[in-house]
């Protein structure tokens, strides 16, 4: 996998999840979903999310197969399956899932717009700021 800036950002965000890692992981998804849905709509997001789950299942077969859920419970199944795993494994899976999702998104709307949306979603995060600086310093 190419070590793109957004990959590194995702890696940092998923590696530093606090005491309740699953809640934090789902929070990342919700923040991202809000921004992405504003551009590609609810169905567009669901479509990429379903595809990401399917692709990631080859590595983490315990991830949920069914991604069709009402908007308010969009990530309920993901939360449940992450909760069922040890934190390190859950973080690793979430890292892979987010990376896959953003790879597909970038292939559709381009790297720049993807990064912009991620910045809008996670911009307030300290880790992201640090990572951004790291990227700029390279």
Partner 1 sequence: MSETDNKDSASNDSAIKPQPGKLPEAVDGGSENDAVAKEPLLSREQLLSAREDSAHLREMAADLREDAVQLREETVTLREHANPLFSAALHGQDSSPTESIQEATSILRQANEHLVIATLEAQKQAEQIQQAKDQLDYLAHHDALTDLPNRILLQDRLNQAIELARRQSKNFAVMFMDLDRFKHINDSLGHAVGDQLLLSVAHRLKGCVRHSDTISRHGGDEFVLLLSSIEHAEDAALSAQKMLAALALPHRIDRHDIHISVSIGISIYPNDGRDAETLIKSADTAMYCAKESGRNNYKFFESNMNALAVRRQNTEAGLRRALERQEFILHYQPEIDLHSGRIIGVEALIRWRHPELGLLAPEQFVPIAQECGLILPIGRWMLREACFQARLWQQAQLPAIPVSINISGVEFRDKCFLKNIRSALKEAGLEPRYLELELTENVLMQDTDLTNSVLHALAELGVKLAVDNFGTGCSSLSYLRTFSIDTLKIDRSFVNRMIGNQDDAAIVSTVINMGKSLNKRIIAEGVETPEQAAFLMARQCDEGQGYYFGYPVAAEAFTHSLQTGV
Longest CA span, the chain: 42
The binder of partner 1 chosen from 56, 67, 91, 102 (CB under 8 A): 67
Q: How far is the CB of 48 from partner 1 (least distance, A)?
A: 7
Site for partner 1 in 33-62 (CB under 8 A): 38-44, 47-48, 50-51, 53-54, 57-58, 61
Q: Is 110 in the site for partner 1 (CB under 8 A)?
A: no
In whole angstroms, the minimum distance from the beta carbon of 12 to partner 1 comes to: 27
Of 24, 4, 10, 36, nearest to 97 by C-alpha is 10
Question: Which is closer to partner 1, CB of 4 or CB of 39?
Answer: 39
Contact present, 37 and 126 (Cβ < 8 Å):
no
Q: How far apart are CA 87 and CA 93, in angstroms?
A: 10
Indicate if the alpha-carbon torsion angle 116, 120, 126, 127 is positive or negative: negative
Give the footprint of partner 1 on this chain (CB under 8 A). 38-44, 47-48, 50-51, 53-54, 57-58, 61, 65-68, 104, 108-109
């Amino acid at each position: 996998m190419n070590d793109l800036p957004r990959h590194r950002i995702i890696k940092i965000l998923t590696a530093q999840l606090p005491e309740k890692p699953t809640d934090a992981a789902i929070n990342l998804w919700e923040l991202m979903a809000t921004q992405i849905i504003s551009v590609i709509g609810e169905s567009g997001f669901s479509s990429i999310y379903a595809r990401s789950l399917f692709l990631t299942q080859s590595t983490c077969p315990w991830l949920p197969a069914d991604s069709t859920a009402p908007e308010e419970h969009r990530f309920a199944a993901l939360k449940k399956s992450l909760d069922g795993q040890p934190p390190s494994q859950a973080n690793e899976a979430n890292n892979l899932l987010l990376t896959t999702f953003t790879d597909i998104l970038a292939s559709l709307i381009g790297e720049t717009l993807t990064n912009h949306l991620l910045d809008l979603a996670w911009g307030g995060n300290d880790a992201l700021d640090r990572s951004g600086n790291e990227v700029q310093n390279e």
